[in-house]
Amino acid sequence: MSEVFKRDKNKSIWAFFPVTLLTAIFCCVLWGSATPAIKIAYQIFNIGPDDTASRILLAGARFMIAGVMTIAFGSIIARKFLIPKKGSFKLILVLSLFQTVGQYYFFFMSLANTTGVRGSIINASGNFFTILFAAYIFRLEKMTLKKFAGCMCGFIGVILILSGGNLSFSQGEITLAGEGAMIAADFFYALSGCCIKIFSKDENPVVLSGYQFFIGGAILAVIGLIMGGNLTFYSTGCVLNLIYMGFISAGAYTLWGVLLKYNPVSRVSILGFINPVMGVLLSAIFLGENQEAFSLIGLGALVLVSLGIIIVNAETKKIV
């Protein structure tokens, strides 16, 4: 047992695997609930599929709240108020344009034009785009046969749900505003993931996430307002839904960051396969999409995507 582990053991319950597992599952439940929460928000705020301005405004409000929560949670954990370092603002601005403005503009658009099950499975492709971008564009890591196999497995799962099991894609009912927008969101997710890896060398990841959430949310809100968007709070449920959507990002990102701090990256990242599982399961429960979620095509695509995430994050043991 290393000396570092001995020093941290008494104060870090986060390194205890049952706690790591339960916390990771909780984070994935939060992330997985984002899809049904957003689609429910469209209903209770009475935002139609053609009301792009109000969707952007809703996304902006969500992430401004998420930003405040993330900074607050991070400050409590750090026991000091988190403030960006001098010179970090430009990093935060770039990250906000990729991770919040770009990604969630397309994410919110997609969920107005596709099912929660399809959205959850397609959204998982961001994990595989991140690996490809990190290896071939940003040169942050080397591509290995294991990672490539995992990516291919995951992409086959995405193709399966897109095609509806028909490789001619004649039954997939793919639209640019639905499935196409989710793939665009995944591209921005991959870009932001690589940026976080680069930027976190000079700044606290929680600081980056919290402030970029708020700034990106503010940019989206302003765009939505300029376009004529409107949010009408018809009931208390609208307020609770918006607060919960903010907590999804703030709570999950903060706790996931804590797990990464006290555990090997591979141990935490491999548990990310639970994310699409929860997205599909919660879409079935709250959106009534049982038929698609538990169809052979839906289950097959989910298994392939989840298996792909496990493969790319599995730690390879060297034989000496």
- CA distance from start to end of the chain: 20
**What angle is formed at CA 292 by the lines to CA 288 and CA 294, rounded to 5 degrees?**
95
C-alpha–C-alpha distance, residues 95 and 207, integer Å: 12
Instruction: For tokens 């919290």, name the residue.
Output: 210
**pLDDT (tens digit, 9 = 90+) per residue, 11-55?**
578 888 889 899 999 999 999 999 999 999 999 999 998 999 999
**pLDDT (tens digit, 9 = 90+) per residue, 109-123?**
999 999 999 999 999
Mean pLDDT within 127-144: 92
Say if residues 155 and 129 touch (Cβ distance below 8 Å).
Answer: no
Instruction: Please state the domain extents for the chain.
Output: 3-141+172-264
Give the torsion sign (CA, 213, 312, 194, 116): negative
Give the number of other CB atoms < 10 A from CB of residue 168: 8
Global pTM value: 0.89
pLDDT tier for residue 156 given thresholds of 50, 70 and 90: very high
**pLDDT (tens digit, 9 = 90+) per residue, 211-253?**
999 999 999 999 999 999 999 999 999 999 999 999 999 999 8
Q: How many angstroms from the chain centroid is the CA of residue 12?
A: 26
Task: Name which residue leads in pLDDT, 315 or 168.
Answer: 315
pLDDT tier for residue 3 given thresholds of 50, 70 and 90: very low
pLDDT of 4: 37
